[in-house]
């Protein structure tokens, strides 16, 4: 029972930490966008200055239009694809692949010259 309570309080602490870090990051990025806009756009193009909330709205709009809200999973799909390809290789193909990787970046597929 005590162990479960410790785990729940630990989880709550982690969630609170993530929320605080996210809030600080969003606030900092909002101020950076606002500062850059207010330093450049009124002077260059005669546009109005932005408030903090307008800068956050502009940031959200740019993210929606240009970035989307997809997860960056760290290449899980690519890793799965490469594992499947590796499993289908013969031992000779695997050794040839290893040799190509030892030659350095950008040299996969080049013929390895035996001394």
Domain interval for residue 11: 2-67
The answer to whether residues 92 and 46 belong to one domain is no
The answer to whether residues 43 and 85 belong to one domain is no
- Under the banding of pLDDT at 50, 70 and 90, the label for residue 98 is confident
The answer to whether residues 8 and 56 belong to one domain is yes
Q: How many structural domains compose the chain?
A: 2
The answer to whether residues 80 and 63 belong to one domain is no
pLDDT above 70: residue 108: no
Burial grade of 80 (CB within 10 A; 0-12, 13-18, 19 or more): exposed
The answer to whether residues 14 and 55 belong to one domain is yes
pLDDT above 70: residue 115: no
Q: What is the mean pLDDT of residues 47-64?
A: 94
From residue 59, how far is each of 27, 41, 42, 91 by CA, in Å?
A: 11, 15, 18, 51
User: Where does a domain end: 28, 46, 67?
Assistant: 67
């Amino acid at each position: 029972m005590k162990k479960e309570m410790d785990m729940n309080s630990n989880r709550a602490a982690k969630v609170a930490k993530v929320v605080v870090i996210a809030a600080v990051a969003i606030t900092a990025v909002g101020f950076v966008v606002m500062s850059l806009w207010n330093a450049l756009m009124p002077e260059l193009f005669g546009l109005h200055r932005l408030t903090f909330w307008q800068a956050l709205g502009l940031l959200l709009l740019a993210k929606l239009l240009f970035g989307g809200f997809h997860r960056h999973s760290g290449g899980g799909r690519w890793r799965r694809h490469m594992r499947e390809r590796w499993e289908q290789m013969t031992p000779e193909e695997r050794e040839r692949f290893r040799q190509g990787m030892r030659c350095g970046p950008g040299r996969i597929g080049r013929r390895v010259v035996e001394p």
